[in-house]
C-alpha cells in the first residue's frame, strides 16, 4: 500500500488537528484525580471536543469502540474503555489517548498521567517510556528508516530492564485514522521503510515493567499485560520535514524540541 505524502495544505490542517489533540490532554489533566471515574473523563473530553473545539472524537464508534477516548489504567496496555465503574485511586497511572478530527484530518496523541502521588516504580516507568518516545522521534529525518526509530526505543527500554510490547505499533495518519506506514517500537537500524518529507505517522511505545506478553480481554478491546505488571505509553503525531521532524501534537510540558 502506497504511503501518502501530505501537501502543504494538508500539513496546515494536520497542525490544527494536532494542536487540538494536545490542547485536549492539557485540558483533562486537572480532572485526573483520585475518586474520578474514567467514564467522567470520557464525558469531559467528549463535550470539550464537540462543543469547544468543534471537532469529532475519532475513537467513538470506530470499528465499534463505544467511547470518545481510551483510558488505560495500571496494567492496561492500550484501548481501555472508559466506565463509570472504574474509579481512579491514589497511586494509579492512566494513559489517556485522544484523537480529534478537524477539517477531515486526525490529530492523535496520548500521555500517561499520575493519579495523586505515584510510587517510585511507576514514576520511573512513566519517565523511561517518555524518554523512549523521544529517542524514537529524534531519529526521524529524510533518508532515515523506520527501523532506526524502533531500535532507539528498544535499546533504551531494555537498557533500563523494561520490555517493549510488539503486538501494537505506531501508524500513518491523516485523513485516515490508521494508515501506512507501520512504526514498530523495536527493530534494527537501517531496516524498514525510508522516510520522506511529507510523511505523517505516530510514535507510541508501550513499555512494560515485566514481560512483553499481552492479551485482549473478552470485550475485544482492552489489552492488558499477561503478568498484570505496570505498563505505560506515550504518543505523538510526527511530520517528516525537509530537515528532520515536527511534532504536530506538541504540548507545553514536552521535554524535546518541537521541530528540527
Give mean pLDDT in consecutive 10-residue pieces for the chain, a chain of 260 residues. Answer: 93 98 98 98 98 98 98 98 98 99 98 98 98 98 98 98 98 98 98 98 98 98 98 99 98 97
* Domain contains 1: no
* Domain contains 212: yes
Contact 245, 260 (CB under 8 A): yes
Which residue bears the cell 496546515?
Answer: 12
Q: Would you state the pLDDT for residue 1?
A: 66
* Domain contains 3: no
Q: Would you state the pLDDT for residue 139?
A: 98
Q: Would you state the pLDDT for residue 2?
A: 86
Burial class (CB in 10 A: 0-12, 13-18, 19+), 177: middle
* Domain contains 104: yes
How much is the pTM? 0.98
* Domain contains 210: yes
Q: In what order do the strands lie in the sheet with 109-114?
A: 70-73, 93-98, 109-114
Contact 22, 109 (CB under 8 A): yes
Contact 71, 38 (CB under 8 A): yes
Q: Which domain holds residue 27?
A: 8-247
CATH number at residue 205: 3.90.230.10
> Residue 105 pairs with which residues in a beta bridge?
102
Distance CA 21, CA 248 (A): 9
Tally of domains within the chain: 1
Amino acid at each position: 500500500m502506497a504511503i501518502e505524502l501530505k501537501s502543504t495544505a494538508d500539513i496546515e490542517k494536520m497542525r490544527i488537528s494536532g494542536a487540538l489533540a494536545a490542547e485536549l490532554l492539557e485540558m483533562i489533566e486537572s480532572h485526573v484525580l483520585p475518586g474520578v471515574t474514567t467514564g467522567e473523563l470520557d464525558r469531559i473530553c467528549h463535550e470539550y471536543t464537540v462543543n469547544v473545539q468543534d471537532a469529532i472524537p475519532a475513537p467513538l464508534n470506530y470499528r465499534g469502540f463505544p467511547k470518545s477516548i481510551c483510558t488505560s489504567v495500571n496494567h492496561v496496555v492500550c484501548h481501555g474503555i472508559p466506565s463509570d465503574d472504574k474509579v481512579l485511586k491514589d497511586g494509579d497511572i492512566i494513559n489517556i489517548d485522544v484523537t480529534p478530527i478537524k477539517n477531515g484530518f486526525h490529530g492523535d496523541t496520548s500521555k500517561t498521567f499520575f493519579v495523586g502521588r505515584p510510587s517510585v516504580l511507576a514514576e520511573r516507568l512513566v519517565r523511561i517510556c517518555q524518554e523512549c518516545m523521544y529517542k524514537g522521534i529524534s531519529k526521524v529525518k529524510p533518508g532515515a528508516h523506520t527501523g532506526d526509530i524502533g531500535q532507539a526505543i528498544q535499546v533504551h527500554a531494555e537498557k533500563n530492564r523494561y520490555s517493549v510490547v510488539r503486538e501494537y505499533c505506531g501508524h500513518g495518519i491523516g485523513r485516515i485514522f490508521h494508515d501506512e506506514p507501520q512504526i514498530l517500537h523495536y527493530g534494527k537500524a537501517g531496516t524498514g521503510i525510508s522516510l520522506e518529507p511529507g510523511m505523517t505517522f505516530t510514535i507510541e511505545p508501550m513499555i512494560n515493567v515485566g514481560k512483553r506478553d499481552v492479551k485482549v480481554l473478552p470485550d475485544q478491546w482492552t489489552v492488558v499485560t499477561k503478568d498484570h505488571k505496570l505498563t505505560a505509553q506515550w504518543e505523538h503525531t510526527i511530520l517528516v520535514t525537509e530537515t528532520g521532524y515536527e511534532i504536530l501534537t506538541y504540548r507545553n510540558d514536552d521535554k524535546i524540541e518541537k521541530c528540527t
